[in-house]
A and B are shown apart, each in its own frame.
Chain A
Amino acid sequence: MRKIVLVGNPNTGKTTLYNTLTASREHAGNWHGVTVDVKSKKAKVMGEEYEVCDLPGLYSLDAYSEEEKLAASFVSDNQDAIFVCIADANNLRRNLYLALELKAQCSTLILAVNMAKEVKSFSPEKLETELGIAVCGIDARSKRGIKSLTKKIAEAKPGSKKPGPKTSAAFSISDFEKKTKAGFDEIDRVLLKAGYKTEGFYGSSKLDRVLLGQPWSFLIFAAVMALVFFITFGSLGSWLSEVVNTAFENLSGKIITLLSGKVKSQALIDFIGEGIFGGALTILSFLPQIVLMFLCLNFLEDIGYLSRVAYSFDRLFKRFGLTGRSAFSLIMGFGCTTTAVMTTRNLDSKRLKTRTAMMLPFMSCSAKLPIYAVLCSAFFKEHKALIVFSLYLLGILMFLLVASIFKKHDKTEDTDSFMLEFPKYRVSSLKKILSNALNSACEFFVRVGGILLLCSMIVYLLSNFSFSLSYVAGDRQQSILYSLAKFIAPIFTPLGFGTVGATIAILSGIMAKEMVVSSLAIVNGTTALGLASSLTLISSPVHFSTLSAISFMVFVLLYNPCISAIMSMKREIGRKGAVLSCLMQFGIAYVTSGLVYGLGLLFMSPLWWVGTIALIVLASLVIVVLKCKPRRKTLSLELVRLKCSGCKKCNGSDCPQRERPKTNQGFIG
């Protein structure tokens, strides 16, 4: 089967074209570096079956970052495939550089110029004549020109493998400068002959004057995120959640009634009702809020705002040893930590990648959302959005605090630089946003139906059977899970939630964060009662007080990520980094949660002023720790006048050796 390889510069519409060709719903966004892995799917093009591959974006075949190396090596390993180089019609002056490189290396190449309608002077016929490769104008979003592209693909004949050009390592910088200059001169010549003209600079907008101005950029970002939380957790999100919850409750109620008449074993009915429906349905009740959150985030990335956020945050992030590019991973962390960790491949240096990946679990992923929603509904009904927003903010602050500590103790010199191409602001496509949100909802459904259902069933069985495998539903304290959790629960007593139920929830959350709510519901046996009754039971003093609920949410926010995120971290930063990260997060979660609970107790007691003093002392300590610099051996620099050694190249007075910088460790140079 022949391969169709979609290749091109970042943010040119490769994934959108891939989705069109393969009828997939892969995530596509209006920013640099959405795709970090090679995706492939079989698809029929003009009646013939092909394997369509979508590569991460790259500027040239001389790869720079990890995902670019992956794409470049895929190109060199599959030179006999049909290559479709996607270029942005607005940006041909730069995009064609890769096309010229591919032309020299690949046997079959088609240039698909995306958003062709936006540039009036673009003529595929003229460009085809000048470049000597097949060219067609398309619009991947509206599917314009796709037929012409598929026709060209079907007509493409397999060519012979070309000898690979010299790799970048073989070039010195001056050779590389000559090579790129020749390449760009050729592009200018081709485009001039093809009559291609563009006005202004693609991606710049008057809107940026407001969005990128300091300090407005931060305020606007904070306002935008607050609006996202208001939409998600405000009256709309809560109402939708209640509607879905009522529907699920009615459905599970009817199924259990139906089963009660046919199945005699009460243990089996309980297992289906609580273990299967209970655990999974508790999580599904929060599906509308998760979909709303994804809708908002997808909208922001589709209009091109996220790149501006990365730029705005660059200066701030540099103070913490990160760059603006880390902001992409940080925002992705609001969705899923596993995916966010993968996006760290976009980062330039290994050190930056390790730092960012290790701290990403501090961000509140969508799986933590049901936990906040349940506890906030029970304890802070009036200020739900505010509390959740504060938790998200705490995650970001902790991310930056730990980053600054890393920076303080990193002895290597900071040379992380930031360059980023600005995408054009685009009117968001409702269809695309809905499709992305639907995709996220489907992924969530699959997760609930797969690993979460299995985990729910395991938790149910362990909490209802004793070590002698007898059914102990009436006395759950005899169960396997209770017996094990009893040993661990005292660890969490200083944090205010040293109950068996909370301990089980915390432990099961390591498998998947959604399991925290599910386990709380199963262990407390509240699933059959519905969400409203569950909330009443959870809010009873037996399980949580207002303060311990806050402490519990802080702990859940900061402790270890789920298994899939840990595996993703192991892949990206190695086993040692993943283990260190987990230990660090547990420690930080424990200390922070303990502080929240301890200070809360002090504030609520008549000795509230002690709490105030303690808080001031603590804040001062944090500032002192951040301000103090680790002891480093400083280099003193002085210019030392030297006598010319008689190098025969000078007259003595302007000899380059006459003045040399000398440090306390010797001469430089």
Chain B
Amino acid sequence: MENLARLSELKKGDEGVIYKIDGLEKAKHKRLLELGFVEGTPIFCIKSSKQGLIVGIRSFTLCLDTYLCQRILVYRKVAK
């Protein structure tokens, strides 16, 4: 089971798959793509807090603030 959500909605331990980046300036959008935020890439929430998320993607760890997290759409993997 999968449902569409913003990355900022993910909680610690949640897994998802990148769907698309929406409503972000061109330069930042490109930077996220270069970092591997392309459609179909699995993403794992390591830590979630008010200031943003620490995520694991393509085998490295990245912290993103809420502004960016709200603009990344993911398919949330829900445990069966």
Contacts and interface: CB of A to CB of B under 8 A. Distances in A.
Interface of A: 59-60, 62, 64, 90-91, 93-94, 97, 168, 173, 176-177, 180-181, 184, 198, 200-204, 208-209, 212, 214, 311, 314-315, 318, 323, 348, 415, 417-422
Contacts of B63: 311, 314, 418-420, 422
Closest 3 CB pairs of A and B: A201-B56, A203-B61, A315-B51
Given A93-B59, A201-B44, A420-B63, A173 B36 contact: no
Contacts of B26: 173
Give the size range of B's interface with the partner: 35 or more
A214 B31 CA distance: 28
B22 to A, nearest CB: 11
B47 A173 contact: no
A647 to B, nearest CB: 25
25 contacts: A59-B35, A62-B30, A90-B60, A94-B35, A97-B34, A176-B30, A176-B33, A180-B33, A200-B59, A201-B59, A201-B61, A202-B59, A204-B46, A208-B46, A208-B54, A311-B51, A314-B52, A314-B63, A315-B51, A318-B51, A419-B35, A419-B62, A419-B65, A420-B63, A421-B62
A185 to B, nearest CB: 9
Contacts of B61: 201-204, 421-422
Given A64-B31, A184-B38, A315 B59 contact: no
Contacts, number: 114
Contact of A184 (B31, B36, B51, B65): B36
B5 interface: no
Interface in B3-60: 25-36, 38-41, 44, 46-47, 49-52, 54, 56-60
**Do most interface residues of chain B lie in helix, strand or loop, or is the interface mixed?**
mixed
Nearest to B28: A417
A417 B71 CA distance: 11
A422 B27 CA distance: 21
Contacts of A168: 30
A596 B36 CA distance: 52
Contact of A418 (B25, B29, B30, B64): B64
Given A177-B39, A204-B54, A315-B51, A91 B65 contact: no
A640 B17 CA distance: 37
Given A93-B36, A208-B47, A314-B51, A417 B65 contact: yes
B59 A198 contact: yes
Given A97-B34, A422-B61, A204 B29 contact: no
B59 A415 contact: no
A93 B62 CA distance: 14
B74 interface: no
A227 to B, nearest CB: 25
A93 B30 CA distance: 18
A64 B30 contact: yes
A160 B34 CA distance: 28
B68 interface: yes
A294 B28 CA distance: 34
Contact of B64 (A90, A202, A419): A419
Contact of B65 (A93, A177, A208, A418): A418
Given A94-B60, A202-B61, A209-B47, 15 more contacts: A59-B34, A90-B60, A91-B59, A93-B59, A176-B30, A201-B46, A212-B47, A415-B25, A417-B68, A418-B65, A418-B68, A419-B63, A421-B60, A422-B60, A422-B63
Contacts of B68: 417-419
Contacts of A202: 59-61
A208 B62 CA distance: 13
Given A59-B35, A94-B60, A180-B38, A315 B30 contact: no
B65 to A, nearest CB: 4
A1 B62 CA distance: 40
Contacts of A176: 30, 33
A350 B61 CA distance: 27
Given A180-B38, A415-B67, A417-B28, A94 B33 contact: no
Best-surrounded residue of B39, B44, B61, B68 (most CB of chain A within 10 A)? B61
A168 B57 CA distance: 23
B67 A417 contact: yes
A198 B58 CA distance: 10
A198 B46 CA distance: 17
B29 to A, nearest CB: 6
